[in-house]
Each structure stands twice: as C-alpha cells, then as structure tokens.
Amino acid sequence: MTTELRSLAVACSLALTVPWTSGPEASIPIAAHQPSALGISCASTAAENPLPTIVGPITGKRPVWLADGSAGAWRGPEKPVKTLWVFSRESARNVRIQGQLLGGVGRTSFRRGLNEPITDALVITDPAAISVIPSGATQEIMRSYAFVPSYIFYPSRGCWELTIQFNSEETRIVLPIR
C-alpha cells in the first residue's frame, strides 16, 4: 500500500469516530469495514431498528437516521437516491445536512422533492411540519418521530459522510456507495 493510500485510510478511520458535540454517549456505532471505490476501508455507520414495523433497519443513531432507497448501490451522478430521513421530534430542529466523499473531493447534492431545486445542503427548519406519515405509523409514533423524504445525488462511488447539524449539535452518518 502506498504512503498516500495509507494516509487516506487513516484519515477515513479517524473521521469515522467523530463524537457528537454533546451528550454522554459520545460516538456513533460503526459497522464492519467495507472497501470503497478508492480501495480503502469504509467503516459505515451501524444500522438500528427502532421502528421495525414502519421502516425496518435505518442507518444512524438517535436523534437522526436515514433509510437509503438504493441499498448503497450507485446508479450514476445524475440519478439521485431516494432517502427517508427519520428525526426524533424531541431534539432534531433547524436541521442542515451536507455530504462529502471521505478521502476525496466530492460533495453530495440534495433535492427535497422531484420539482424542487438541487442544493448543496438539505435545510429543514422544522422536520415535524413537513413529515410524511408512513404506512402503519400510529399516532404515538408520529408524536415521537418525523419522516422526511428527499433525494441525494452522489457524484461517484465511494465512502460518503453525511454531516447533520441540528440545534447546536452535530452528528455524522457514513455510507459506502458501491
């Protein structure tokens, strides 16, 4: 392995253990390492299953998760991935999401709906106000969670890090896009 690739692998590994900016449980669980398009290891954020009858396994940790509609498959730079964001209503407000390629220079783009403009960040002031109601969601679930669909454009395969800022906190979700 060349020194440059070794440096990229170390940088990728270090970036994946970025702690939350607050709270006693400081890090996001990381799943098994998977090779990225760059040939370096991509430790993706672990999936959780807090709503098994509604959306199944979702990637992330309270208070924000996502369901990737492509199962990590890249279909091209012009073909967005339909994504369902799941936010805990108790803490996620004033949300800003941006994405970058770990070990590279790529950036994601977002679209809230099919007829909406493509932007470099997904900004959601109040997820509860624009939440959809998934099939099978009870009133209790809807009081606890907001479900916001969007589209993410990944310009290439690779190890992608989504940075989610909300209120005064920040968390990250890492996904391998193959």
Question: Over the chain, what is the mean pLDDT?
Answer: 81
| No. of helices (H) and no. of strands (E), the chain | 2, 12
pLDDT of residue 2: 36
For the chain, where are the alpha helices, taking DSSP H only? 3-15, 139-144
Rounded CA-CA distance 128/47 in Å is: 23
Instruction: Say yes or no to pLDDT of 28 above 80.
Output: no
Instruction: Say yes or no to pLDDT of 16 above 90.
Output: no
Q: Among 2.60.40.2410, 1.10.150.50, 3.40.50.1860, 2.40.160.40, what is the CATH number of 3-177?
A: 2.60.40.2410
Q: How do residues 53-111 score in pLDDT, each as one tens digit?
A: 999 889 999 999 999 999 889 999 999 999 999 999 987 789 999 999 999 999 999 99
43 near 33, Cβ under 8 Å?
A: yes
Report the candidate in 104, 149, 87, 98 with the shortest Cα–Cα distance to residue 123.
98
pLDDT of residue 90: 85
pTM comes to: 0.77
Taking residues 5-17, what's their average pLDDT? 32
